[in-house]
Amino acid sequence: MYKNNLEKNYQPKFIEMKLYNKWDSGGLFLPSGIGHSFSIMIPPPNITGNLHMGHAFQHTLIDTLVRWKRMQGYNTLWQFGTDHAGIATQILVEKNLFYDEKKSRNDIGRNEFIKKIWEWKIKYNENITRQIKRMGSSVDWSRQRFTLDKNFSKLVQKIFISLYDEGLIYRGKRLVNWDPFLLTAISDLEVINIEENSSLWYFRYPFFDKYITTKEGKNYIVVATTRPETILGDTCVAVNPKDKRYEYLIGKFIKLPLVDRKIPIIADTYVKPEFGTGCIKVTPAHDFNDYDIGKRNDSILINILTKEAKIRSKLEIYSYKNKIINKLNTNLPQRYIDLYIKDARKIIINDMNKMGLLEKIEDYTLKVSYGERSGVIIEPLLTDQWFINIESLSKPAIKAVEKGYIQFIPNNYENMYLSWMKNIKDWCISRQLWWGHRIPAWFDDKDNIYIARNENEVREKYKLKMNINLRQDNDVLDTWFSSGLWIFGAMDWPNLTEDLFNFYPTTTLITGFDIIFFWVARMIMMSLKFTKQVPFNIVYVHGVVIDNKGKKMSKSKGNVLDPIDLIDGITIDDLIKKRIINIKNSKKIKEIIKNTKIEFPYGIKKYGTDALRYNFLSIASTGRDIQFNIKTLDGYNNFCNKLWNAARYVLLNIKGKDCGKYNTSIKLTLLDIYIISIIQKLKIKITNALKEYRFDNAAKVLYEFIWNEYCDWYIEYSKFILEDKKNNIYKLGTRNILIYVLENILLLAHPMIPFITEEIWQCFIQLYSNTDNRNNFSIMNNKWPVAYINKINKYAIEDIEWLKNVIHTIRNIRSEINIYPNKLLVIYILGGNEKDQLRFIENMHLIYKFTKLSYVNFVKKIINISFFNRVGNMELHILINKMIINKQTEIEIIKKNIIKKKIIIKNIAYKLINQYFMNKAPILLLKKDILILKENKYIYIHFIKKFKIIENI
């Protein structure tokens, strides 16, 4: 049983987990089984460790949407699960194994190593669960799934076998992103391209036939390359077919230096005549663009590298049809064999120079590909991999978006999706790892391929005798393969479950823009292929959370924030320890410590979940970057405190009082009618904002209403009424409206800030509810507030907006000339019309109370010295004398401000007449300076006028 009053101070740590456990144990996160369905699947977090700010941001958006839909009466499912994250998890467990036992995975074997990963999974799945609960996420824990669960693994096998049997999966030697440290193919998503300063080497390639020369009479052509080490694998030299300098050489041959290979000069439109000399070396087995050039020109593939990125002892030579070519020499100079590629580069450059074949070297900036996980340079490498022939899968997925069956929000991401899908390439789905879905493929001693779930099924399916030896492929499937099945797989497809019937297709997917291609597109393709339905109707795409300096948050940068540390607080020492724990570079450690101490000199204080959630919602714009600044978190912490204190005020003033619950003849004031009208508008604005996935707008309008309308105006006004011993007839109405507005605020705010609203609700509901239909167990069980258009009184809104404008103006005059705070003022009004006068008369008591006036007088002329501001056609004058201000102090302040403005105006004006500055400065900077000059001139003139007025007192 809840107490019927709130604690004096809002202390989140004492209420949050208590409430969460109550919701969870009460079954409030389960689908109700009533109403239209609304379903959403969590983008499954990797089991690699703790969740980061991006997860907390994303889960806040999803939970806000889910709680809102639940209150709207939908049969709501938010299904949770985690991803096995093959490569990422395996790396971490391998590091942990080496740190604890000084062993590698090969030392303990595959089965034992996988056992250790399952132990890791159990531990970190619990961490993830704990963090998700701390964020208030109302997921259905009873339906939790893992992408390596038994049922999910069966599904993955079924899909692979089905695609293979249909001819859509094949095995072949193709060029892939190869990580020479992890010894596996990786996806484009796991590659980071970093711009680096390097060189462009110009080498002389001699013609094979001695009688051939260039137009300049040279017996060689010069090629430019950024990768000298791959000369050993060149299969041709390419020029642009329209390049007049070389058209007569097309079809001629080169004698490749170092290996004496005869290679042709070919024409290809990929070559840019302006790059280098307009001639490029082509190494199809070690460059993706070169691979395409070679394929177009019927070339061959020569692999010079081992999987460790060393020079091979013998070349591997293939056709584009995967046939081994034996007719070419596969030998390499002994001095290069077994060298790492960086070392080979140095020796090859030196050898080319000694042979007189190094023309020149130029500085050059290029992008180098690194493995996100390993940090080593990624090599395009020719390896045996499994692929999906993606074309037939992509066409329905393109159509689904073009026809509007799936809508992207914001819609600019639709174009991004379609552009990628229309230029899609076959998908490499195999990885050379141990952790993951092992590929259900078996080989015999002749490397024939057999596909089935297990060896017994292989023998039965292919009628193989027991004397035929079989071995299973050691590779596992790309994590994105199983993730692509997430939506329907988590609902136990192909079994025709009740969940599948009720909740599939899901309603919405909320995800980051960076995985549209790698996850969203593949889910659409797989779902359409196997379920014949789209997996979701709406894809809401959000940006990536970055730090306050605009940098991506990463452990290597030492700028990561743990959302739990923002909720519970953390000392500066503990924060530094967390940030440098895996950093080895001492210079980097010093930099991280310095930056952390600057940004968080006293550590991070406790903010609670709701303040963090509200901060996330307020920055959920449609842009790609979501900049997080802890300073704004202070503001939303204050906002939560403001709501708490407002609720305490209401509860204290309704406890044991007649609030007119069953009284139909309550007398309301103009401000009562106004606040009723404004909250109807608020309901419309928040509902529409959530419909449009503009979480930032929903947070903004709610914040402005609670802070400005309810607390600063209505609650302050209510104090005048409730403290007045005479106005009993209005007290009833004011108490009633205080309750009505608070009740609606709590319901509207609950999806965004669930903990504080529930805690207030539990106290509030014990004392009062405007209807008898409210659910006492939880605010979650109550209906979403609906706007009543007939309660919007436009005349009340106009009158109160006029009144607020008058009060603001009088307060501003007081503040501007530093009138003594307790001094009662006389206001003289010049101008205005009969309506203005009538409004003054009707609201005189409020104007007096809010602005500390003693008298208001309408006049036709102002004789004495006064200071004024305008409200519409009215001038509001305050007569200035020594009784209400300190003349000397005020004059000194004004003089200082005049001098400051003079300096600013002079400096900007000087810049704007400087011709050099005007010619060089960007347009935006010029516009900004002109605006600053204009604003400061206006303020300067205002100070001059003010000075003259006060000086003449």
Residues in binding site for ATP: 555
Cα separation, 225 vs 278, whole angstroms:
11
Backbone angles phi, psi at 29, to 5 degrees: -90, -5
Q: How many CB atoms lie within 10 A of CB 321?
A: 7
On whether the CB atoms of residues 361 and 404 are closer than 8 A, the answer is no
| CB-CB contact of 90 with 433 (8 Å) | yes
Calpha distance 545→57 (Å, rounded):
8
User: Contact at 8 Å (CB) between 519 and 71?
Assistant: no
In angstroms, how far apart are the furthest CA atoms of the chain? 117
Burial class (CB in 10 A: 0-12, 13-18, 19+), 630: middle
Residue 237 CB-half CA count within 13 A:
33
Write b or e for each residue in 64-78: b if 16 or more Cβ atoms lie within 10 A of its Cβ, otherwise e.
bbbbbbbbbebbbbb
Q: Provide long-range contacts, Cβ within 8 A and 24+ apart, for 585-590.
A: 588/558
The C-alpha atoms of residue 95 and residue 181 are separated, in whole angstroms, by 13
For the chain, the 3-state helix, strand and coil shares in percent, each to the nearest 5, are 45, 20, 35
Angstrom distance (rounded) from CA 566 to CA 577: 16
Cα-based distances in Å from 318 to 250, 289, 329: 24, 17, 13
Residues of the binding site: 555
Phi–psi pair at 401, nearest 5 degrees: -80, -40
Strands (E), 169-217: 169-179, 184-186, 191-206
Note whether 55 and 96 are within 8 A (CB): no
Following CA atoms 516, 522, 524, 525 in sequence, which dihedral angle do they give, to the nearest 10 degrees? 140
- Nearest by Cα to 357 from 222, 450, 227: 222
What residues contact residue 41 under an 8 Å CB cut-off, 6+ apart? 78, 79, 81, 486, 487, 490, 506, 509
Tokens (6 digits) for 492: 């136990």
Can you read off the two tokens belonging to residue 234? 């060149």
- For 710, counting Cβ atoms within 10 Å of its Cβ (0-12 exposed, 13-18 middle, 19+ buried), the class is buried
Token pair of 818 as six digits: 């530093």
Q: Which residues contact 806 (CB under 8 A, 6 or more apart)?
A: 840, 847, 871, 876
Which positions ≥6 away from 865 have C-beta within 8 Å? 879, 880, 881, 949, 952, 953
CB 534 within 8 A of CB 403: no
Q: Would you tell me how many other CB atoms lie within 10 Å of the CB of residue 948?
A: 11
d(CA 674, CA 798): 9
| d(C-alpha 699, C-alpha 614), whole Å | 7
